[in-house]
């Protein structure tokens, strides 16, 4: 992530930077957040509205059972890693360990972002050092789980990021992370939505952003 975001930050055009960052987050969403069928995700972003559903086409090619499963449950019937895992099969690689949302927020708020922005590598270390509060005492979480979780939080736009460049050309630029904040909106008379520029809320408070991250059924 660091190398990619630093490379994007070197673009001379602010508009091009913004587009590339958004594209990178979409790819991270597809690969890291298991919100739904990967084929449906690609279809929603790149498919033609008049063409047959990509997931239906893929499911049909796998046989009648997969096609029937697609019609009943949606998805591609097991042709992508998300649908295979949902069906109890092998999605390729190790499945992410369920996390405690409450523990994750507590750890990051008190140990990482209390003083503001923190380097991405240090955020990984904070999560790993407090792994029992994030994954539970018996999960056996490792550094790779902490790395994956940081990437998931960025992809879900729960964590915001910025690239900090160094005046020393010998030092590499770094990616800093913090809770992502967005302006709130409220309804006023007549159904008009008024934006309060100064009123911000942190994205981790929004339940929908955690939808693609595996949460533990019960808090630890």
In terms of C-beta density within 10 A (0-12 exposed, 13-18 middle, 19 or more buried), how is residue 213 classed? buried
* Higher pLDDT among residues 130 and 208, named by residue: 130
Q: 3-class DSSP state for residue 109?
A: helix
What DSSP letter does each residue of 46-83 carry, written as one string? Answer: H--TTSPPHHHHHHHHT-HHHHHHHHHH-S-SSSSHHH
Q: pLDDT of 69-88, one tens digit each?
A: 544 555 777 778 788 877 77
Q: What is the pLDDT of residue 59?
A: 47
* Higher pLDDT among residues 130 and 183, named by residue: 130
Bridge-based pairing of strands 118-119 and 174-179 is antiparallel
Rounded Cα gap, residues 141 and 131, in angstroms: 7
Q: What share of the chain is helix, strand, coil (3-state, %, to 5)?
A: 50, 15, 35
Q: What is the pLDDT of residue 39?
A: 79
For residue 121, pLDDT over 80 is answered with yes
Please check whether residue 156 is in contact with residue 101, taking contact to mean a CB–CB distance below 8 angstroms. no
Q: pLDDT of 178-200, one tens digit each?
A: 999 876 665 566 665 555 545 56
Please check whether residue 126 is in contact with residue 147, taking contact to mean a CB–CB distance below 8 angstroms. no
Q: pLDDT of 6-51, one tens digit each?
A: 888 888 888 999 999 999 998 898 888 877 788 788 887 776 655 5
Angle between helices 120-129 and 143-155 (to 10 degrees): 120
For residue 58, pLDDT over 60 is answered with no
């Amino acid at each position: 992530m660091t190398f990619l975001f630093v490379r994007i930050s070197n673009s001379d055009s602010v508009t091009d930077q913004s587009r590339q960052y958004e594209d990178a987050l979409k790819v991270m969403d597809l690969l890291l957040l298991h919100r739904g069928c990967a084929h449906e995700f690609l279809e929603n972003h790149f498919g033609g509205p008049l063409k047959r559903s990509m997931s239906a086409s893929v499911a049909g090619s796998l046989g009648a059972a997969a096609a029937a499963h697609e019609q009943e449950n949606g998805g591609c019937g097991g042709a992508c890693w998300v649908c295979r895992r949902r069906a109890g099969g092998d999605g390729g690689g190790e499945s992410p360990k369920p996390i405690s949302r409450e523990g994750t927020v507590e750890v990051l708020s008190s140990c990482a972002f209390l003083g503001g922005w923190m380097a991405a590598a240090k955020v990984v270390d904070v999560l790993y050092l407090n792994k029992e509060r994030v994954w539970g005492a018996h999960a056996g979480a490792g550094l790779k789980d902490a790395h994956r979780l940081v990437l998931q939080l960025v992809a879900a736009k729960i964590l915001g990021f910025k690239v900090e460049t160094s005046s020393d050309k010998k030092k590499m630029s770094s990616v800093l992370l913090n809770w992502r904040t967005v302006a709130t909106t409220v309804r006023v008379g007549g159904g008009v939505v008024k934006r309060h520029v100064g009123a911000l809320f942190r994205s981790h408070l929004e339940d929908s952003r955690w939808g693609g991250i595996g949460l533990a059924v019960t808090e630890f």
